[in-house]
Structure 1
């Protein structure tokens, strides 16, 4: 484990990183929000179906 090499790698990555502009941020937020909603709907549907299965929830 070479700490000096690791720190230089982290520094290089931080120098290359940039703050996204508003268009890029809003697109990422929209996709992430859609994913969260999709997972929520899927969980709701599974719970709803398990309510009708004998021995379910």
Structure 2
């Protein structure tokens, strides 16, 4: 990978462009994202718990 001044300047310009178009979420959008994230974490935890429970029942009985 060749890193030079032009590639660094290009990366910084892309970062600046992203920061210009991004915005701070309002309260309703923040709550929605928090709820979806929380539900996703809970679902992944339940799936992991079920897999652990099944493996204990199958292999340690």
Give the TM bin, normalised by the shorter chain: 0.7 to 0.9
- How do residues 20-39 of structure 1 correspond to structure 2 at under 5 angstroms? 20-39=25-44
1:35 is displaced (CA, Å) by: 0.3
How many corresponding residue pairs?
56
Moved more, 4-13 or 36-45: 4-13
C-alpha separation in 2, matches of 1:20 and 1:39: 26
Higher relative contact order (CA 8 A, sep 6+): 1
1:15 is displaced (CA, Å) by: 0.9
- Where 1:19 maps in the other structure, the secondary structure is coil
User: Structure 1: where are the runs of 5+ without partners?
Assistant: none
User: Structure 2: where are the runs of 5+ without partners?
Assistant: none
Query: TM-score of the superposition, structure 2-length normalised?
Result: 0.81
1:54 is displaced (CA, Å) by: 2.7
- How do residues 1-57 of structure 1 correspond to structure 2 at under 5 angstroms? 1=3, 2-55=7-60
